Structure 1
Amino acid sequence: MSDIDRVVGALLTAMATLEDLAELYSHEHMAINALEGIAYQLGQMSDEERRDFDAAISRIADARDKDEAGTGEWIRNVLRSLGLP
């Protein structure tokens, strides 16, 4: 696993937790604000950074498809769920 895959994997874990908090608990506004901050930062990526990020997303999603049914699809759609093209 490459360094970027580890960083993207950690980010995905944080995003999944924030999504759960937004849906399940009374402090959903804090979770939503955090997700919006992540979306903003990811939206600032250069074209090269975005290609690297997308490649890491694909690798991680493919690996998760082998281990955890359904998780890979969530990973592939993470940027779209944040409102990023």
Structure 2
Amino acid sequence: MSDIDRVVGALLTAIASLEDLAEFYSHEYMAINALEGIADELGQMSDGERHAFNAAVSRIADARDNNEAGTGDWVRNVPRSLGLS
């Protein structure tokens, strides 16, 4: 696993936790604000950075398809749900 894959994997874990907080717990506005902040920061990536990010997301999704049934599709959808694609 490359360094960028580890960073993107950690970011995906944070996003999943924030989505759960927004959906199932009180103070969902705090989780939504955090998700919007992440989307804003990622939205400022250069084309090269975006390509590297999307490639890492793809690799992580493929690995999860092989190890964690059903989570690969969620990973593939993250860039779209953050408004990045």
The answer to whether the superposition gives a TM-score over 0.5 is: yes
Aligned residues: 85
Shift of 1:64: 0.3
State yes or no: 1:35 paired with 2:35: yes
Instruction: State how far apart, in whole Å, the 2-side matches of 1:84 and 1:22 are.
Output: 20
The structure 1 segments of at least 4 consecutive aligned residues displaced by more than 6 Å after TM superposition are none
RMSD: 0.5
Correspondence for 1:22: 22
Q: Deviations over 1:18-44 (max 9, x none)?
A: 000000111100000000000000000
TM-score (norm 1): 0.98
Deviations 1:37-77 (A, max 9, x none): 00000000000000100110000000000011110000001
Task: Give 1:84 shift.
Answer: 2.0
- Unaligned runs of 5+ residues in structure 2 are none
Q: Distance in 2 between matches of 1:82 and 1:53?
A: 13
Q: Report the Cα distance in structure 1 between the residues aligned to 2:31 and 2:40, rounded to whole angstroms.
A: 14
Instruction: Tell me, in whole angstroms, the C-alpha distance in 2 between the residues paired with 1:84 and 1:58.
Output: 14
1:72 is matched with: 72
Q: Partners of 1:50 and 1:70 in 2: how far apart?
A: 24
Aligned partner of 1:39: which letter?
A
